Amino acid sequence: MQLWIGRRMAGLWAAMAVIIFAGAVAIVVRYDLRAGDIDPAGLVIGAAGLCLSLFSCWMAVRAARWQESDIEAAAARLRLAVLTGESAARVQMLGTDAGRIDLDYALDGRPVDRVAGAEPEGRLTEIVAYHRKLDPRRMVITGAPGAGKTVLAVELILGLLDGRAPGEPVPVRISAASLDTTPPAAVAVRQWLFRHLTEVFRTPRAEAEALIAARLVMPVLDGLDELDERHDPAEDGAEPPADRIARVIMAVNAYQDVEGRAPVVLTCRTEQYRRVKELKIWVRDAAQVEIRPVAGRAARTFLARRAQDPDRWEPVLAEIERAPRGPLAAGLATPWRLTLAAIVYEERAADLTFLRDPADLVRLAARTPEAVRDHLLELLIPSVLARTPAPGDPDPERVRRWLATLAAYLNANAAGRALGGRRLSATDLAPHALWPLAGALSPRLVTAAGVAAGYAALLVVVRRSSTPDLTDQAMLGVSALVSVTMGFWRTSTPPSRFDARRLRSAAGRRALRHTILSCTVIGFVFGAIGVLGTMAGLVFYGGKVVVWNPQGAASLAGYLALAGLLFGVMAAFHAPATGQARDPRHVLRTDAVFGVVGGIFAGAWFGLPDLLVNGPVAAVGTGAAFAIPVTLLGGFAGFRYLAMLACTRRWTDRWLPWRLGRFLHWGRRAGLLRVAGVAYQFRHRELQDFLAPPAEPPVTTPPARPPVTGPSAGRATPGGRRSGRPRSRRR
C-alpha cells in the first residue's frame, strides 16, 4: 500500500500559497513601497516559499517512517495490544462481580455452505474449541438484539490469543459501523485492517502491511447489522443499507489466503443476515451459529450470583420457567435485558430497603415484551445515578437530555453522512472527532472568528506599545490570513502528540536525522529562491528597480532555513495521538500539548533573534506571526472541540455539558457507555436507539390540488412521497 498525500490537504496548502502571494502583492501595490521599507520580491517569493516549505516538511515526515521487519515479533506485539484491549472490553460488558451467562448457540439448520468440523451446537465456554475445528476457520455469529454476539466474539478472541502459537493469525475486532464500503472488494478488507492497525494500535505502516500480507491478522467484524439503519435511501445520495452489508460480505468473500478462504469472524443480527441471504449473498465457506435465548436455568444461575437476595426474583424465574415463550421470557431473553433488570431492581432507597419489587415485571409483562424493555430502559438512568452520582450532581432529566443529544447525532450518521470525504461514525463518540455534532458550519465559523479575534487583540496591544514597522504588520497580516483560512477550511482533525521513543533505536535516529535535514535544506532552498528573486529586480516603482539588499537577502535565506529546521524537528517527533492513547480523554490532552509547546517553540525560535536586534515589540509581532499558526496546526483537534462546546449551549437543541470529557468518562464508569479504542460507545445499541429522539417527518405546505379519490387515495403524502417510514430528522 503506497503512501499518498490527501488531495484536500494538498489543495489547502496550495490555496494558502496563492492567498499569501496575492496578499503580498496587494501590500506592495497599496503602499507604493520604496527600497528600505520592505523587500517586495523577497516578501512575495519568500512567503510563498515558506508555505511551500511547510507543505514539503509535512510530506517529508509522511515518507520518512522507518519500520521494523521482524514479522513474528510484530505479531507478538499486536497480540499483547489486542489482549489488553479486549480484556478491558470484557470487564466493561460483564463487570467484575456478576460473571457471565454460559450462552448456548446452535448451527444454522439451513446452511448454504457445508463447513468441515462444524458441530450442531455449543456453549460460550466451548467457543474456542468449536472455532478451531472449523475448516476453514470462518464463522458468522448471529442472534437477536442483545443476545450476546459481541460477548461471544470477545470470548473467542481472548481464547485464541491465550493459546496462540507462532504463525497463527491475531484476531482483531473492528466495528463494522466504521467500515468504508466504497473500496473495491478485492482490497477492502486489507484497507480496513491497515487503517485499524495504524490508527488504533499505532502499528508502523510497513509493519502493518507486512502483517496483513502474511495473513497474520484475522478480522473480526463486529456489528454488521449496524450498517442496516432506517433512513431514506434518496436522502443525500446515501447508499441503501442492504448494499453496504452486501459490500462488506463480498469483500470478506474476496479476502483470500494461500489455502483459499482466509479466517474471519462476523457478528450480525439474525434478521438482517437473513435479508441479505435472500439476495443470494452470504459469507462463503463459513459456519453460521445462532445464539439461543437465555433459558430459565441460565437466568436462575445468573441472578443467583448477581442478586443480593435471590428469593425476591422467584416470581420472575417461576414465570419464565412456566411460560418459556411468554412475554416475560421474551422480554428477558438476552443477557443485556437480564443485566438491566438486575441494575434497576437491585437499587435501594435511602433507608436501605429495596426500591422496587421484581414481581412488578410479571404484571408488566402481561402486555408485551417491548413493555418490559421500555420499562427497564426508562428506569436505567435514575438507577445508575443513584449508584454512581455524576459530576456536578445533575438530575436524571438533564443527564438523559445530554445522552439523547449524543444518541441523536449517532443515529443521524447511520444514514451515511460524510464530511470532508470521511464517513461519520454511527457508533463512536471520539471527542477529537465529535465537532460535526454542532453542525458542519458553526464550529468552523467559531474557530475562524476566535482566531481572528486573537489576532485583532494582539495587533491592538502591539500598536499601543509602539508603532510597528510595515514589515511586522505585513507578517502579522499574512499569518492571520493563513490561520483564519485554516481555522475555517480544515475539516480533518487528526490529533497529534510528541513521540520521543524514536531516539531509542538506531532506525528511529536515522529517520529523525533524515527528516530534520530534509526540512532544513528545503527551507534554505526556498530562501535562496527568494534571494534570487530579489536580485532579479522584478518589481518596478516609477521606472526604478528595487535595489539589491545583501542584509535582507541573507536574513530571508536564514529565516527560511530556520523555519525548515523548526518544522523538521516538529515533523520528526510528530505521531498520531490516537495510536498510543488508551483513554479517549488523553487524545485531546496530547494534541493540546503538541500544539502549545510547538507554538511556544516557534515563537521563541523566531522572536528571540528579533528581540536582540529590533526590540520587544518587533519580537512579539514576529514570534506571534509564527507561534499562532503552529499552535493551530499542531493542536487543531482541541480548537475544533472547544468550538463545538461553544455551539452546544443550553439554548440550542444540541445541549451538552461544558466538561463533556468528564461526563463521558462518568458514563463509562456508570455502565452507560463503553470504551472502544479512543472513542466512547453506548453500552448497547438498544440504549442508543431508546435515548435518541424519534424521527419526525418534515413539515411541508401542500400545494393546492383537487382531492384524490379512488383506489390511489391515501397512497402518497402531500409532499409526493409515499407514506411509510418518516424521514430522519437532520441534526
DSSP track, 496-543: EEE-GGGGGSHHHHHHHHHHHHHHHHHHHHHHHHHHHHHHHT--EETT
Domain-embedded: residue 393: no
What integer pLDDT is reported at residue 721 of this predicted model?
38
**3 state DSSP class of 291:** strand
What integer pLDDT is reported at residue 178 of this predicted model?
74
Write the DSSP assignment of 425-452 as a string of letters. Answer: PSS-B-GGG-GGGG-SSHHHHHHHHHHH
State the residue range of the domain holding 327: 300-387
What integer pLDDT is reported at residue 579 of this predicted model?
55
Domain-embedded: residue 214: yes
- Both 194 and 246 in one domain: the answer is yes
Query: How confident is the model over 417-458, as pLDDT tens digits?
Result: 888 777 888 888 989 889 999 998 999 999 999 989 888 888
Domain-embedded: residue 396: no
- Both 76 and 207 in one domain: the answer is yes
For the cut 90, the answer to whether the pLDDT of residue 400 exceeds it is: yes
Contact present, 141 and 266 (Cβ < 8 Å): yes
Domain-embedded: residue 401: no
**Cβ count within 10 A of residue 387:** 13
- Both 445 and 434 in one domain: the answer is no
- Both 482 and 604 in one domain: the answer is yes
Q: What is the CATH number of the domain that holds 138?
A: 3.40.50
Give percent of the chain with pLDDT exceeding 70: 68
Which of 274, 291, 308 terminates a domain? The answer is: 291
In the beta sheet, which residues pair with residue 175? 222
For the cut 60, the answer to whether the pLDDT of residue 232 exceeds it is: no
CB contact set of 617 (below 8 Å; sequence gap of 6+): 462, 465, 466, 468, 472
- Both 630 and 507 in one domain: the answer is no
Strands (E), 312-439: 418-419, 422-423
What integer pLDDT is reported at residue 396 of this predicted model?
94
d(CA 30, CA 256): 65
Domain-embedded: residue 701: no
Query: How confident is the model over 452-490, as pLDDT tens digits?
Result: 988 888 887 777 766 666 666 777 788 888 888 888 888
For the cut 90, the answer to whether the pLDDT of residue 645 exceeds it is: yes
φ/ψ (deg, to 5) at 291: -75, 130
For the cut 50, the answer to whether the pLDDT of residue 682 exceeds it is: yes
541-570 average pLDDT score: 57
Sign of CA dihedral 148, 153, 154, 160: positive
Three state DSSP letters for 171-199: EEEEEHHHCCCCCCHHHHHHHHHHHHHHH
DSSP 144: S
Q: What is the mean pLDDT of the chain?
A: 76
- Both 145 and 229 in one domain: the answer is yes
pTM of the model: 0.72
Domain-embedded: residue 723: no
| Pick from 330-334, 489-493, 651-655: least confident | 489-493
694-715 average pLDDT score: 44
Provide the domain count of the chain. Answer: 5
Task: Name the amino acid, one letter, at 190.
Answer: R
Query: How confident is the model over 597-621, as pLDDT tens digits?
Result: 888 888 887 787 777 777 777 777 7
Which of 291, 326, 355 terminates a domain? The answer is: 291
- Both 422 and 568 in one domain: the answer is no
Confidence at 242, pLDDT banded by 50, 70, 90: low
Higher pLDDT, 575 or 408: 408
- Both 427 and 452 in one domain: the answer is no
What integer pLDDT is reported at residue 10 of this predicted model?
45
- Both 159 and 210 in one domain: the answer is yes
- Both 10 and 32 in one domain: the answer is yes
Burial of residue 453, with CB atoms counted within 10 A of its CB: 0-12 exposed, 13-18 middle, 19 or more buried: exposed
- Both 13 and 161 in one domain: the answer is no
Element (H, E) at 140: strand 138-143
d(CA 361, CA 315): 9
What integer pLDDT is reported at residue 627 of this predicted model?
85
**3 state DSSP class of 312:** helix
- Both 91 and 172 in one domain: the answer is yes
Which of 291, 313, 346 terminates a domain? The answer is: 291
**Closest C-alpha among 573, 574, 681 to residue 636:** 574
Domain-embedded: residue 696: no
Higher pLDDT, 535 or 611: 611
Instruction: Write 239-246 long-range contacts (CB < 8 A, 24+).
Output: 239/181, 239/416, 242/275, 242/276, 242/279, 243/181, 244/181, 244/416, 245/272, 245/276, 246/276, 246/279, 246/281
What integer pLDDT is reported at residue 89 of this predicted model?
82
Domain-embedded: residue 193: yes
What integer pLDDT is reported at residue 8 of this predicted model?
46
What integer pLDDT is reported at residue 498 of this predicted model?
65
**Closest C-alpha among 599, 616, 531 to residue 42:** 531
For the cut 80, the answer to whether the pLDDT of residue 517 exceeds it is: no
